[in-house]
Amino acid sequence: MQPFVYEGLPSRVVFGQGTLSRLEEELERLGCRRVLVLSTPQQRAQAEQVLAQVGERGAGLFAEAAMHTPVEVTERALRRVEALGVDATVAIGGGSTIGLGKAIALRTDLPQVAIPSTYAGSEMTPILGETRDGIKTTQRTLAVLPETVIYDVDLTLTLPAGLSGTSGINAIAHAVEALYARDRNPVISLMAEEGIAALARSLPVIADTPTDAAARADALYGAWLCGACLGSVGMSLHHKLCHTLGGSFDLPHAETHTVVLPHATAYNAPAAPEAMSRIARALGVKDAAAGLFDLAGAVGAPTSLGTLGFTAEDIDRATEIATRNPYWNPREVEADGIRRLLADAQAGRRPAGEEAPS
């Protein structure tokens, strides 16, 4: 066994059905008296319900969260925080809203309660990705880790089947990269394999029967595990590519992760055989990359970047950005290989794996 370091992250998780009812209790525990509720414009009605639920603790609502956490949106939210004398934020929604809460915390050190309604996993990580002038950058600091995460299975019952599939595979991506991360460890590897397996068995059920509460609970459990993996160890090629495609080409977050994951996995397969074996075992297939591609198809998720608006003419620019300052990766990140990877993902070709260059 290789030497390792494991450090547990200091966040509190409340998991179950109907757990949103415990929000006031959790705010009391944190000593919060004036909270700003955050959401996207699409989830404003849900955020208004949360604001009403917290009663006198509710200082106001900011419903302008956007994909890839644009800095200009954060600056508007900060002006609202200052004007209202806020002492905490409550973010309800997916990665866009939770990312905004993190961006506010980074600049103010305000405590956060995160209430995820998708499987994105951002709520379990000390990672913030922000976009400024068309470039998305990330940083890792405990200052952005939410103090409390409330997982309520009931909130996911109305998540559309299509979004459930892409959000769930986005979560799987966190666990896949955790299995070959430079700072991987046995505890996180166990969580990663379990998280992949939970999502792989539940997402096809949800695609057929979105209101299946047992499958929803399994998927949310898997998303929690996968998010904890991302929060505990480093990111590699897959996330670098998705940050490039999202921040510089404005591609949708979860769908981009879904399309890129099989191809990034195939690229790294020759350099990470043990990780590939664990991924394949969790999926119940022989080949990890092909299995991930087939899972996307089974849940009706996109399998081509072309369908998301990424063209063949974009490949060279994306390759240049993604290879300019690459994250650590088990296989060397070289431009020709990344160009082929992006071409395959753009066209929607099923990965067959490739041998690493000697």
Residue 7: band (very low, low, confident or very high) from pLDDT cuts 50, 70, 90: confident
Mean per-residue pLDDT for 191-207? 98
Residue for token pair 């505890």: 187
pLDDT, tens digit, 9 for 90 and up, residues 237-251:
999 999 999 989 999
For residue 219, give every residue at least 6 positions away whose Cβ sits within 8 Å of its Cβ, in sequence order, or none.
119, 156, 164, 168, 198, 199, 202, 203, 206
pLDDT at residue 354 in the model: 44
Question: Any idea which residue has 């880790």 for tokens?
Answer: 145
The CA-atom distances, in angstroms, between 4 and each of 181, 184, 221, 232 are 12, 7, 26, 12
Q: Is 153 helix (H, G, I), strand (E, B) or coil?
A: helix
Predicted local confidence at residue 10, as pLDDT: 83
Nearest alpha carbon to residue 171 among 132, 146, 200, 214: 200
Domain boundaries, the chain: 12-156, 161-347
- The average pLDDT across 259-283 equals 98
At 68, give phi and psi (nearest 5°).
Answer: 70, 15
Q: What is the mean pLDDT of the chain?
A: 95
**Cα 339–chain centre separation:** 24
Dist. CA 165–CA 163, nearest whole Å: 5
Quick one: fold of 161-347? Answer: Dehydroquinate synthase-like, alpha domain (1.20.1090)
d(CA 237, CA 243): 10
pLDDT for position 5: 86
Segments in the chain forming alpha helices (H):
23-30, 44-53, 71-84, 95-108, 153-156, 161-179, 186-208, 213-232, 237-249, 253-268, 273-283, 288-298, 315-324, 335-347
Which pLDDT belongs to residue 2? 75
> What band does 236 get if pLDDT is binned at 50, 70 and 90?
very high
Same CATH topology for 12-156 and 161-347?
A: no
pLDDT at 201 over 50: yes
User: pLDDT tens digit string along 126-181?
Assistant: 999 999 988 888 898 999 999 999 999 999 999 999 999 999 999 999 999 999 99
pLDDT at 356 over 90: no
Write down the CATH number for the domain with range 12-156. 3.40.50.1970
Which one, of 53, 46, 54, 126, lies nearest residue 92 by Cα? 46
Residue 69 has pLDDT above 90, yes or no: yes
DSSP conformation class of 70: B
Does residue 357 carry a pLDDT above 50? Answer: no
Residue 358 confidence class, pLDDT cut points 50, 70, 90: very low
Please enumerate in sequence order all residues whose Cβ is within 8 A of that of 62, keeping only pairs 6 or more positions apart, or say none: 36, 37, 38, 39, 76, 77, 80, 100
